[in-house]
Amino acid sequence: MSRRRRLGTKKKLALLASAAAVAGGGAFAMAATSNAAQAPKTAAESSVCQGLATALGNNQRFIADQQAAPDAQSAARIANRQAVVAQIEVQQEASGCVVGESAQDSPAAQPSQAASAPETPPTGGTAPGADDAVTGEQVCDGSTVTLSGEAGAPAASSNQFPAGTRLKVTNLDNDKSTTVEVTSVSGSCVLLNDAAFEQVREPGKFLIRRAVIEKVG
């Protein structure tokens, strides 16, 4: 009788162990599924992530260009852009994007190829800072516009126009425009700093896909 009781106890323990293993496996599977559902988004999956990836790629290319052909100010420029890169990566993490993913902006057309007859300005609202803008020579046809992550007063950087050039950027998706002065070099036709981008952006977006860029001074 005692032997049967011992065998019965062993069977019960074995059954309990099996149940615990099954429950544990189910919990692990649920946790794995939950983690997979929260996997960071790529630039191809989110317009926000694409904008941040483009901004990161532009700044990384600027740093590479400065390292390839340094001058007296290159060290300071590189240090500034490295800080911008770090800030963009913080924004990528906060937005649920793949941290460190970068993408180069779409190739910008040369000004001589993109010039066209002046267009009538959009009839929608105009952002602060665009009150002195006039319709000028349209440039960089087909280029997208994103932000550099730099602070300061509204300004832009460009790989085609020297410092002091005034560019008008219009977001055709919301008819907002801003006119800014080029103050530094970047890897794009026009790259807006944070303040300028805020004037023309759509909420939650870090990339302007349909933009009109005009040289007005």
141 inside domain: yes
pLDDT, tens only, 149-164? 888 999 999 989 999 9
The CATH number of residue 142's host domain is 2.40.40.10
Is the per-residue pLDDT at 165 higher than 50? yes
Q: Are residues 117 and 202 in the same domain?
A: yes
Where does the pLDDT of residue 118 fall: very low under 50, low under 70, confident under 90, or very high at 90 and above?
very low
For residue 108, pLDDT beyond 60:
no
Give the range of the structural domain holding residue 65, as residue numbers without chain letter.
47-94
Q: Residue 200: its pLDDT value, please?
A: 96
82 domain-assigned:
yes
In a domain, 3, yes or no: no
Is there a domain that residue 106 lies in?
no
Are 81 and 115 found together in one domain?
no
Whether residue 90 is found in the same domain as residue 176: no
Residue 112 has pLDDT above 80, yes or no: no
- Please tell me the predicted confidence (pLDDT) of residue 173: 94
Write phi, then psi, for 98 (nearest 5 degrees). -70, 115
- Using pLDDT thresholds of 50, 70 and 90, give the confidence band for residue 63: confident
Both 129 and 187 in one domain: the answer is: yes
Give the end of a domain, one of 94, 119, 154: 94
First to last CA, the chain: 103
Mark whether 88 and 118 lie in a shared domain. no
When the pLDDT of each residue in the chain is averaged and rounded to a whole number, the result is: 75
On whether both 179 and 83 belong to a single domain, the answer is no
> Measuring CA to CA, which residue among 189, 103, 95 is closest to residue 141?
189
- Residues 139 and 86 both lie in one domain: no
Q: CA–CA separation, 154 vs 180, rounded Å? A: 6
Q: How confident is the model at residue 124 (pLDDT cuts 50, 70, 90)?
A: very low
Q: How far apart are CA 40 and CA 204, in angstroms?
A: 17
